[in-house]
Amino acid sequence: MEREVRPNYHLFKTKENPDHEGTGRNVYFVDSVTPPGMKTSHAYIRQNLSETLSIAKTEKGEEGLASMPFTERVRYLESIAQKEQYKRWEETTGVKPEDTRFIFGTPIYNEQRMGASSMIMAHVAADIPSSAHVDHVYVTNRCTDGSEDLVLKHMSSFGETKTGLPITDLGNFSFDPQIEPIYSMAQVGNHRHIHIDTRTPSKANVWRILTEMGVYQNIPIIMSHDANVFVAPNGPMKLFKEAHKSFVLKEDDAVIVSAVTPEYVDPKKLDPTLKDTNLSPRQILPFGLLVPEQHRVNGKFAAWDPQFYSDRNGRGIPPSKLDDVVMAKQAEKHGRIFKHVSEVLSYEWGVPTLEGRKKMLTRFTTGYLQIANGLGLREVSPEIKFFEDPDYREHVLFENAKDKRLEGHLPLTISMWHQAVGKGYEDFLKDPHNPAFEGIEGSK
């Protein structure tokens, strides 16, 4: 029996019926959708809910609405929410939902602890009409925890999950000999929720899988977010708008679009060294020493043109610890551009410890060495001088310390960078082509 098409905008869980028995819907309390501190998403959902209730009261009156049987009332409210969601999507993106096609993917590596509050909720709470054609793709890679079970449990809430489907239905993944030959899928409306597993590590490989799916199925936009990033409900809609302008309408030469992603650091986990300052770990050990934020691709939540980055045209996404930087460099090398959506559309669980930040800087170092020495992108990577020349590195750090917010932190910054660069070189010389990197405690 075919499953009834449901809206993809889940708002209506109440104390009257907390499990929503008998309706088959996958719905959540608003406050359970976002991590602490991300109140803008709460406000956005509540505003849409308020508008839905206002329309319902105008049509039925408060007494008429209250007198409706619970299930009937929920179905009525969801029908209004679906119509309003349809309007929002078309008014924002300029594309009718039924003409919308994109892939919304998530690389997953041992994300069991954070999955319920970010990885899955980004898809569940996304303000995308069910009539839009969207593949929600969860790619587990080399997981050793319960991430796969978490994904499959989530998919089962949509009804029957088809298993054992041949992976060749989705594309030609010959570049990944360790990808599982079968995948699972559940469907709600035009939204397909797909689980793929591979034993090949790295986000870069997951992005290659998503890109091949786009090329094989002629889907013009690939969108991806990291599993420790919470995407605002309207984030996919606004990122799609900019991606559609660039990749489909060809209004500019951009081949990748990324969103602003501020950090949320759990104060309970914050390193004691940082508690006496208002600075975030990102500011004390900044990545922006070399390239300003607005000139860097943010791979935490981004969209790209699969045709440009396809393995089939020789511009695939090569293995690297800095996949997003590689994509930006490839665009620059081929005379294309990348751009940002200036509005905040996603939030990152920031690393709260200095040790964790050192690991990130180590990854940053190794990644740049891979870019400059193995991927043919040195000519568009002048920043490599920072990693190869200790004197220049100290000069840059001293210049950065002129920022009053960093006053008093220069010795710490220099020490951490030097340690990270030393370890980064060690990792690179040991295995120059390794795209995987060590997990960082505190970011999940």
pLDDT digits (tens, 9 = 90+) for 126-180: 999 999 999 999 999 988 888 888 888 888 888 789 999 999 999 999 999 999 9
- Does residue 10 lie within any of the structural domains? no
- Does residue 131 lie within any of the structural domains? yes
- Does residue 207 lie within any of the structural domains? yes
Q: How far apart are CA 185 and CA 58, in angstroms?
A: 40
Q: Could you list the residue range(s) of the whole structural domain that residue 419 is in?
A: 353-444
Q: How far apart are CA 189 and CA 80, in angstroms?
A: 16
User: Do residues 357 and 329 both lie within one domain?
Assistant: no
Residue with tokens 């999940």: 444
SS3 208: helix
- Does residue 20 lie within any of the structural domains? no
User: Do residues 359 and 346 both lie within one domain?
Assistant: no
Q: How far apart are CA 161 and CA 331, in angstroms?
A: 38
For residue 279, give the CATH number of its domain. 3.90.550.10
Q: What is the dihedral of CA 395, 388, 262, 319, to 10 degrees?
A: 170
pLDDT: which is higher, 409 or 290:
409
Residue with tokens 């993917």: 105
Mark which of 321, 351, 381 sits at the end of a domain.
Answer: 351
- pLDDT cut 90: percent of the chain above it: 45
Please check the confidence at residue 229 and state whether its pLDDT lies above 80.
yes
Q: Report the pLDDT averaged over residues 419-440.
A: 89
Report in angstroms the alpha-carbon separations of 368 from 31, 316, 374, 422.
Answer: 40, 18, 10, 13
Residue with tokens 């199925």: 217
Spatial CB neighbours of 177, under 8 Å, sequence gap ≥ 6? 200
- Does residue 360 lie within any of the structural domains? yes
H or E element at residue 235: helix 235-243
Mark which of 303, 324, 351 sits at the end of a domain.
Answer: 351
- Does residue 327 lie within any of the structural domains? yes
Q: How far apart are CA 385 and CA 92, in angstroms?
A: 43
Cβ(417)–Cβ(359) under 8 Å? no
Q: How far apart are CA 44 and CA 50, in angstroms?
A: 10
Please check the confidence at residue 31 and state whether its pLDDT lies above 70.
no
Q: How confident is the model at residue 97 (pLDDT cuts 50, 70, 90)?
A: very high
User: Do residues 159 and 280 both lie within one domain?
Assistant: yes
H or E element at residue 396: helix 390-400
Cβ(270)–Cβ(354) under 8 Å? no
The predicted-structure confidence for 411-428, as pLDDT tens digits, reads as follows 777 888 889 999 999 999
Longest dimension (CA), the chain: 76
Mark which of 301, 327, 351 sits at the end of a domain.
Answer: 351
Q: How far apart are CA 174 and CA 179, in angstroms?
A: 9
Handedness of CA 24, 26, 32, 38 (dihedral sign): negative
3-state helix vs strand vs coil in the chain, percent to 5? 45, 15, 35
Q: Report the pLDDT averaged over residues 36-40.
A: 52
DSSP annotation of 232 reads: P
Cβ(92)–Cβ(127) under 8 Å? no
The predicted-structure confidence for 334-358, as pLDDT tens digits, reads as follows 999 999 888 777 877 777 777 888 8
User: Do residues 372 and 300 both lie within one domain?
Assistant: no
Strand 101-108 relative to strand 133-141, pairing: parallel
The pLDDT score that the predictor gives to residue 260 is: 78
Q: Report the pLDDT averaged over residues 384-399.
A: 87
User: Do residues 197 and 323 both lie within one domain?
Assistant: yes
| Average of per-residue pLDDT values in the chain | 81
Please check the confidence at residue 297 and state whether its pLDDT lies above 90.
no
User: Do residues 333 and 371 both lie within one domain?
Assistant: no
Q: How far apart are CA 63 and CA 387, in angstroms?
A: 69
The pLDDT score that the predictor gives to residue 261 is: 77
User: Do residues 279 and 415 both lie within one domain?
Assistant: no
The predicted-structure confidence for 393-408, as pLDDT tens digits, reads as follows 888 888 777 765 666 6
User: Do residues 317 and 426 both lie within one domain?
Assistant: no
In DSSP terms, 17 is beta-bridged to 14
Radius of gyration of the chain (CA): 23
SS3 29: coil
User: Do residues 324 and 226 both lie within one domain?
Assistant: yes
The pLDDT score that the predictor gives to residue 214 is: 97
User: Do residues 180 and 191 both lie within one domain?
Assistant: yes
Measuring CA to CA, which residue among 99, 119, 117 is closest to residue 109?
Answer: 119
Cβ(326)–Cβ(207) under 8 Å? no
H or E element at residue 213: helix 203-216
Q: How far apart are CA 360 and CA 417, in angstroms?
A: 10
SS3 303: strand
pLDDT: which is higher, 165 or 24:
165
- Does residue 37 lie within any of the structural domains? no
User: Do residues 257 and 195 both lie within one domain?
Assistant: yes
- Does residue 277 lie within any of the structural domains? yes
What's the number of domains the chain is made of? 2
Please check the confidence at residue 30 and state whether its pLDDT lies above 50.
no
The pLDDT score that the predictor gives to residue 4 is: 34
What amino acid occupies position 302?
A
The predicted-structure confidence for 173-197, as pLDDT tens digits, reads as follows 999 999 999 999 999 999 999 999 9
Cβ(256)–Cβ(250) under 8 Å? no
User: Do residues 358 and 282 both lie within one domain?
Assistant: no
